[in-house]
């Protein structure tokens, strides 16, 4: 049985990725700074800090996995503006610690780095892998740097490093500091109250491509199982909806009268009105395409808050 080691397994995507590999016949090990709730019993967990190169080296040597996936990251653009130094440290130095551990152990493992659509230049057209890279925020820049180091270690040391650029994705368990869980939670709270209410929002004009996290982790598995690690794939739904359309749908799930108010503190101008993924390359090469619509995903997310509240 092949073994997968997932750094950052305690985060939102971690348990979904663990489930994807478990359901496909892998043994799964995970690592993080502290263990989070919701991990599957089958997952063997190790506490380790990706910023501690010695800890990382010991863990990689001990587990000796066939596949290593790095989910440990500062994954918010807004957070990256608040702490750009930490963003670069975690996303770049952390990744380098992992690569150095693999190199020093002479481990013949496949590695996957998770990039982002934030690496691309601003464009209102569907973004393909041929779109120029030109990140304009610390998070996107850190992911570009991570990919460049992957290229160097791939060429110099022969490590099989796969890179992927996912677009926005969501699902149950994502923090409500992100926009779609925030919408769903606020509407669910009003529904649960049994009386009319007000939802506070920011800029609703932007159109964004949102995927279900279960589709995204399936793509990760398919990519790292493929033979050619030099191919970089976009992962997204291929459809962009305005936040206004998305919010209207979530509000329609409630039986209460809901007033939408723009909160100046939440309102942020956007650099581009539309961000949409062109996933034709991964579809042609690996046969992947999304199985869930954003509206199915929102319904699942909304009802999860109704049960939880």
Query: SS3 sequence, 260-304?
Result: EEECCCCCCCCCCCEECECCHHHHHHHCCCCCCCHHHHHHHHHHH
**Largest interatomic CA distance in the chain:** 63
Q: Tell me the three state secondary structure of residue 6.
A: strand
Which two three-digit tokens encode residue 103? 């190199």
Measured from the Cβ of residue 162, the count of other Cβ atoms closer than 10 Å reads: 24
Residue written as token pair 């989070």: 36
* CA-wise closest residue to 62 among 86, 44, 80: 44
Q: How confident is the model at residue 270 (pLDDT cuts 50, 70, 90)?
A: low
User: According to the model, what pLDDT value does residue 207 have?
Assistant: 94
Which two three-digit tokens encode residue 304? 């999860």
User: According to the model, what pLDDT value does residue 99 have?
Assistant: 97
Q: Which of 111-125, 164-178, 259-273 has the lowest mean pLDDT?
A: 259-273
Judge contact between 59 and 31, C-beta under 8 A: yes
Query: In Å, how far from its chain's centre is CA 19?
Result: 15
Distance CA 251, CA 260 (A): 9
Residue written as token pair 């506490």: 47
Judge contact between 49 and 33, C-beta under 8 A: yes
Q: How confident is the model at residue 16 (pLDDT cuts 50, 70, 90)?
A: very high
Q: Extract the runs of DSSP E, i.e. beta strands, from 192-304.
A: 197-201, 207-212, 233-235, 240-242, 258-262, 274-275
Q: What is the pLDDT of residues 222-244, one digit of tens each?
A: 999 999 999 999 999 999 999 99
Q: What is the pLDDT of residues 281-309, one digit of tens each?
A: 999 999 999 999 999 999 999 999 999 88
Q: Is the pLDDT of residue 271 over 70?
A: no
User: According to the model, what pLDDT value does residue 202 have?
Assistant: 86
Domains within the chain, CATH numbers bracketed: 3-166 (3.40.50.720), 175-209+238-274+294-308 (3.90.25.10)
Q: What is the pLDDT of residues 26-76, one digit of tens each?
A: 999 999 887 666 788 999 999 999 999 999 999 999 999 999 999 999 988
Give the CA distances from residue 4 to residues 24, 26, 66, in Å, rounded to whole numbers and listed in that order: 11, 7, 6
Name the phi and psi angles at 19, rounded to 5. -65, -40
Distance CA 221, CA 23 (A): 11
- Average pLDDT estimate for 87-116: 96
Name the phi and psi angles at 57, rounded to 5. -60, -45
- Average pLDDT estimate for 146-173: 98
Q: How confident is the model at residue 165 (pLDDT cuts 50, 70, 90)?
A: very high
- Average pLDDT estimate for 113-129: 95
Cα within 13 Å of Cα(55), Cβ side: 12
Cα within 13 Å of Cα(266), Cβ side: 15
Distance CA 250, CA 225 (A): 36
Looking at every residue in the chain, the average pLDDT score rounds to 94
**Partners of 241 in the beta sheet?**
208
């Amino acid at each position: 049985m092949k073994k997968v080691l997932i750094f950052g397994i305690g985060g939102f995507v971690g348990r979904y990725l663990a489930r994807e590999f478990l359901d496909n016949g892998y043994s799964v090990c995970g690592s993080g700074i502290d263990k989070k709730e919701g991990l599957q019993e089958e997952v063997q967990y190790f506490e380790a800090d990706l910023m501690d190169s010695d800890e990382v080296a010991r863990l990689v040597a001990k587990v000796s996995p066939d596949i290593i996936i790095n989910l440990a990251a500062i994954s918010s653009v807004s957070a990256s503006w608040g702490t750009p130094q930490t963003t670069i440290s975690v996303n770049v130095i952390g990744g380098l610690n992992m690569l150095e551990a693999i190199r020093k152990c002479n481990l013949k493992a496949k590695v996957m780095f998770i990039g982002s659509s934030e690496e691309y230049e601003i464009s209102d057209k569907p973004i393909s892998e041929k779109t120029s890279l030109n990140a304009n925020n610390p998070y996107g820049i850190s992911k570009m740097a991570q990919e460049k180091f992957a290229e160097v270690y791939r060429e110099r040391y022969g490590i099989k490093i796969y890179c992927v650029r996912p677009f926005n994705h969501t699902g149950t368990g994502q923090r409500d500091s992100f926009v779609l869980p925030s919408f769903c939670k606020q509407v669910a709270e009003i529904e649960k109250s049994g009386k009319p209410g007000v939802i506070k929002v920011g800029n609703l004009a932007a159109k964004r491509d949102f995927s279900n996290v279960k589709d995204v982790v399936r793509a990760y598995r398919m990519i790292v199982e493929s033979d050619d690690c030099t191919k970089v794939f976009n992962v997204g739904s291929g459809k962009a909806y305005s936040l206004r359309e998305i919010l209207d749908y979530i509000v329609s799930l409630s039986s209460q009268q809901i007033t939408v108010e723009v909160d100046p503190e939440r309102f942020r101008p956007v650099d581009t009105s539309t961000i949409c993924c062109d996933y034709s390359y991964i579809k042609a090469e690996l046969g992947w395409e999304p199985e869930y619509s954003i509206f199915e995903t929102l319904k699942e997310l909304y009802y999860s808050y109704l049960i939880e509240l």
